[in-house]
Amino acid sequence: MDEDYDCLVINEAGAERNTSTLYVRPVITEQPDDQYVDDGQAVTLSCKANSFPSPEYQWEMMNRTTRMFEPIKNATDSTFTISSISYNDYGNYRCVAAANSIAENATSEPALITNGSIIERVRHFGGSGGITSNGRQKRTAPVDERVEFGLRRSSNYNKTEPS
């Protein structure tokens, strides 16, 4: 696709030709998906964007202390792979697409990478949280909401009921 455009103006005074380049700000066209993996497994996130000139990517991870996204060193492709995931890798990730000569960037929705065996245990036990110290049944609902530290919980998390 040719992004250069010619404009030719002709009037009584003469003719003038001007060539311009159309720059298109980045737009995210493929969001990264949440991933559920166990320690030691590989995981890959993918993000796509359209722009002119072609986008450059930077992956970021949310800092668990500041809750701010920070760039990941050398994570500058449309895909980001962790070859052997560990506890410190669990969390929220996003990609930022930038195009040279354009001030505006595009940022993906966050994608959660979390431990798959934790999610399976919650599903296996049907959300049951056991018995509290005062003898009441502790209930946790099924997994359905994102939280920033690599786990999910529902809005009625830790509610108690008389047994």
Q: Which amino acid is at 125?
A: F
The pLDDT assigned to 152 comes to: 42
Q: Is the CB of residue 45 less than 8 Å from the CB of residue 111? A: yes
Q: What is the pLDDT of residues 113-156, one digit of tens each?
A: 999 876 655 555 555 444 444 444 444 444 444 444 444 433 44
Average pLDDT, the chain: 80
pLDDT tens digit sequence for 58-92: 999 999 999 999 999 999 999 999 999 999 999 99
**What domains appear along the chain, each with residue ranges and CATH number?**
25-115 (2.60.40.10), 118-161 (no CATH)
pLDDT of res. 101: 78
Return d(Cα 18, Cα 10) in angstroms, integer: 12
Confidence (pLDDT) at 128 = 45
The verdict on pTM exceeding 0.85 is no
What average pLDDT does the segment 100-112 reach?
A: 93
**Distance of alpha carbon 55 from alpha carbon 23, whole angstroms:** 11
Long-range CB pairs of 63-68, under 8 A, 24+ apart, other chains included: 64/91, 64/148, 64/149, 67/148
Say how far apart CA 52 and CA 4 lie, in whole Å.
11
Q: How far apart are CA 37 and CA 93, in angstroms?
A: 15
CA dist 49 and 26 (Å) reads 6
